[in-house]
Amino acid sequence: MTRLDDNLAVVLLSGGLDSMVCAGLARAAGRDVLALTIDYNQRHRIELDSARAIAAHVGALRHVVLPLDLSAFGGSALTADIAVPKTGVGTDIPVTYVPARNTVFLSLCLAWAEAAGAREIHIGVNSMDYSGYPDCRPEFIAAFENLAALATAVGDGGQRFDIVAPLQFMTKADIAAEANRLGLDPAMSWSCYDPTDDGKHCGRCDSCRLRRAGFAEAGLVDPTVYAADAD
């Protein structure tokens, strides 16, 4: 049976600020990175270019951009003809939630980890400054780690995969500060859900608002070019 390599990690790399810091932390911890980016025909596919730049910057052993067209299902402002909210971050699950996205994506990471013999799967979710997505909660990460032990040949043989979520309890300000500490250029990353035609962050979607507020709270310069003020 394949023995899992403690130094090999599959990193889910969307191209956003959180996933960039997640990848940077994996490299700082001495992990060899296998970067997985999902092209799910998202509205903000510009993030795929950011993912490629980040993967190269952290020295990923391999970067796979996997096509998986979730727009065939719809159900989200990121994959269907539904307007992206621009009025501020609310408390309910927003329409930018993509049904079961992290469950699907972590399953793909798990498949690659088992095939490659990687013990760790890294994901940049956090449950502090987030938009209310249920698949960013610590309970979900713990449940998926248990599922991975039950659903794989490796798990059946008594080994366990580790689902590593290093940003789980960080605020967006903490994450911006970590990017600075790691020497990562935030301009490489992309956060906006609704990019303008000329390639700027819209400035008003939930993701833009959280990004802007994070840098401000951390006292750091935000290099992001926004098309509009938050309000």
- pLDDT confidence of 231, banded at 50, 70, 90? low
Contact 141, 168 (CB under 8 A): yes
Listed in order, strand segments (DSSP E) in the chain are 5-12, 32-39, 62-67, 118-122, 162-164
Percent of the chain with pLDDT over 90: 90
pLDDT per residue over 210-225, tens digit each? 999 999 999 999 999 9
Round to whole Å and give the CA distance between 196 and 166. Answer: 31
More confident of the two residues 92 and 199 = 199
Tell me the average pLDDT of the chain: 94
Q: What is the pLDDT of residue 8?
A: 98
Q: What is the pLDDT of residue 133?
A: 87
pLDDT per residue over 30-48, tens digit each? 999 999 999 999 999 999 9
Percent of the chain with pLDDT over 70: 97
Q: What is the pLDDT of residue 1?
A: 62
pLDDT per residue over 172-211, tens digit each? 999 999 999 999 999 999 999 999 999 999 999 999 999 9
Q: What is the pLDDT of residue 131?
A: 62
More confident of the two residues 129 and 149 = 149
Round to whole Å and give the CA distance between 170 and 22. Answer: 12
Round to whole Å and give the CA distance between 14 and 143. Answer: 22
Report, as an integer, the average pLDDT of 77-104.
91
Q: What is the pLDDT of residue 230?
A: 63
Beta bridge pairs of residue 170: none
- pLDDT confidence of 139, banded at 50, 70, 90? very high
What pTM did the predictor assign? 0.95
Q: What is the pLDDT of residue 130?
A: 60
Place of tokens 């990562």: 184
Strand 118-122 relative to strand 62-67, pairing: unpaired
- The candidate with the shortest Cα–Cα distance to 213, out of 166, 175, 167, is 175
Domain 5-218 is classified in which CATH homologous superfamily?
HUPs (3.40.50.620)
Question: Over 80: is that where the pLDDT of 3 sits?
Answer: yes
Question: Over 90: is that where the pLDDT of 129 sits?
Answer: no
Question: Over 90: is that where the pLDDT of 107 sits?
Answer: yes
